Amino acid sequence: MIIDLRSDTVTKPTPEMLNAMMTAKVGDDVYKEDPTVNALEEKIATMFGKDQALFFPSGSMANQAAIKLHTQPGEQLIADQYAHVYNYEGGGVSFNSGVSCKLIEGKRGMITASQVEASINPPDFYHSPSTSLVCLENTTNKGGGACYDFEEIKNIKKVCNDHNLGYHLDGARLWNALVAKKENAKQYGAQFDTISVCLSKGLGAPIGSVLIGDEEMMKNAIRVRKILGGGMRQVGYLAAAGLYAIENHIDRLADDHKKAREIGNVLEALPFVKQVAPIDTNIVIFTIDGDEEEFISEMGSKDIHFYGMGQGKLRFVTHLNYTRDMHEYFLELLTSLKTNKAVQKI
């Protein structure tokens, strides 16, 4: 049994999802003639109470398009130091939009309204870049699946309004936050100017993200997507997987969260585990005494796969294809490490 806890992106479509894909009605989406893409976009726009949604091949492209829509070259955006848009999108912020990032040292990838306010460059101080956008992430990736307190999201919105800043949410794992905090998509639609959501993470579709916003904000979105190379043709086959996922795979995220907490509980009891970060959703981040590369390869030889995140942090991510059987086996295996000499020595 191979257990892959590297990421919630390693999932494969379920038979039912594949069936939805194979039977999808399609057309040329560059002409906006793909009925399945149109249905997915309409459904997601409605969920969030926004005018429009646009299907993208990846979350990075959706975020990068949003940043382009909100900014002009030379401007600056504000984000947490762990932000995906800054760390994991290949430097696209500067490459695509000519924009710099003011990074904030937040908590588990989350920033506060007062930190945002303190990071805005004075508009009349022409030596500094002009601040034009705030990007939040919910849940946070590098922050370990942490969920924002919704009140703070509202407080930051107020700062954005007061200073005329755009407000973008990188919601690659927003679904996890909605389930964990019992929130709904409309609440988020009411706060943010643009939101990107992933279909290919926890929801288990093979590909796809969606950018959501009101008409005025989105009027150039399709052009920007075209420039970035994201105009696709009979892509309803892929959108069908996303539609299926939206309808069938959101509520089950609670199961991933429960499994993550159970893994965390077992880790807490292991003598060589130093610290387990709080577990809000499906990501478990922990540190160990000893060499983490050795631990990763020791576990790899037992067919348990996961990543280190640098700075001594290790990460497990639960997902749709991490089954109950795998979970039971994995918890037993972890528990057995209490007395495993080979692991204890590291």
Ligand X SMILES: *Cc1c(COP(=O)(O)O)cnc(C)c1O
* Contact stretch for ligand X (CB under 6 A) within 55-63, 69-77, 112-120, 292-300: 55-63
Burial call 263-293: b when 16+ CB within 10 Å, e when fewer: bbebbeebebbeebbebbbbbbbbebeeebe
Tell me the H-state helices in 164-248. Answer: 174-181, 185-191, 215-218, 221-227, 236-248
Segment near ligand X (CB under 6 A); pick from 57-65, 229-237, 257-265, 288-296 = 57-65
Question: How many of the other CB atoms lie within 10 Å of CB of 214?
Answer: 15
11, 36, 52, 58: residue in contact with ligand X (rule CB under 6 A): 58
67 to 96, contacts with ligand X by CB under 6 A? 84
CB contact at 8 A, 196 and 59: yes
Of 212 and 273, CB closest to ligand X: 212
- Please state the closest distance from residue 58 (CB atom) to ligand X, in A: 4
Residue 225 sits in the site that holds ligand X (CB under 6 A): no
Nearer CB in complex with ligand X: 201/259: 201
Q: Which of these, 253, 278, 252, 254, lies nearest to 265 by C-alpha position?
A: 278
Give least dist CB 298 to ligand X, A: 27
Instruction: Give the nearer residue to ligand X in terms of CB position, either 97 or 141.
Output: 141
Applying CB under 6 A, which of residues 41, 80, 170, 292 lies at the interface with ligand X?
Answer: 170
Q: CB-wise, 206 or 236, nearer to ligand X?
A: 206
8 A C-beta contact, residue 243 and residue 43 = yes
Q: Find the shortest distance in angstroms from Cβ 62 to ligand X.
A: 8
- Contact between 256 and ligand X by CB under 6 A: the answer reads no
User: Does residue 59 bind ligand X (CB under 6 A)?
Assistant: yes
Of 10-18, 56-64, 113-121, 257-265: span binding ligand X (CB under 6 A): 56-64
Amino acid identity at 240: A
Binding mask 174-203 for ligand X (x = CB under 6 A): ------------------------x-xx--
The answer to whether residue 209 forms part of the interface with ligand X (CB under 6 A) is yes
Residues 110 and 39: their CA atoms lie apart, in Å, by 33
Pick the binder of ligand X from 97, 131, 132, 141 (CB under 6 A): 141
Q: Is 280 in the site for ligand X (CB under 6 A)?
A: no
44 phi and psi angles, rounded to 5 deg: -70, -40
Report how far Cα 313 is from the mean position of its chain's Cα atoms: 19
Number of residues located near ligand X, criterion CB under 6 A: 13
Q: Which class for 166: exposed (0-12), middle (13-18), buried (19 or more C-beta within 10 A)? A: buried
Show the tokens assigned to 179. 């389930």
CA–CA dist 18, 108 (Å, integer):
36
Q: Does 60 bind ligand X (CB under 6 A)?
A: yes
Which has the closest alpha carbon to 107: 77, 82, 78, 135? 82
The binding site for ligand X (CB under 6 A) comprises 58-60, 63, 84, 137, 141, 170, 172, 198, 200-201, 209
